[in-house]
Amino acid sequence: MFELKCSRPVAAPPARVFEILADLRGGAKRITAITKLEVLTPGPIGKGTRFRETRVMFGREATEEMEITHFDPPRSYTTEARSHGCHYVCTLRCEPRGSGTELEMGFAAKPMTFGARIMGLLMKPFAKKLMSACSKDLDDIAAAAENRTRAG
């Protein structure tokens, strides 16, 4: 299993940061690595919402279909996907810190097939780049939350 965590402070309250996180329909406008995000289920965003996200990873576009499996506003939500022989889990958390928020992303990939286990070993050298990509996503989310907070 491969796991990583990254976090950063955000100068906005947790409810505002969570609002940005949960606005999947606006995600491609806020997160620079996402080129397209399509919500596949009707209605409000919450547990059971499925979506397809296309983003640039390691210089190439990759598309994954995900589902929100845990939704606890304004604290956290978790998405899961099964693809390329792996089970992926990503949790985003908003923890109060003073008048702001500590935004945390946890990501885990569990290989489910022999081929995925081999690919996991081959991908270990790219862990630092993946951590950098996750940090950039958090920076983009923070910028969106802080901008609206300053603007009123």
**From the CA atom positions of the chain, what is the Rg in Å?**
15
Predicted confidence band at 150 (pLDDT cuts at 50, 70, 90)? very low
Residue 38 confidence (pLDDT): 97
34 in Cβ contact with 23 (< 8 Å): no
CA 135 to chain centroid, in Å, comes to: 10
Q: What is the pLDDT of residues 64-104, one digit of tens each?
A: 999 999 999 999 999 999 988 889 999 999 999 999 999 99
pTM of structure: 0.87
The token pair at 61 is 């576009």
Between CA 95 and CA 32 the distance in angstroms is 24
Predicted confidence band at 152 (pLDDT cuts at 50, 70, 90)? very low
91 in Cβ contact with 76 (< 8 Å): yes
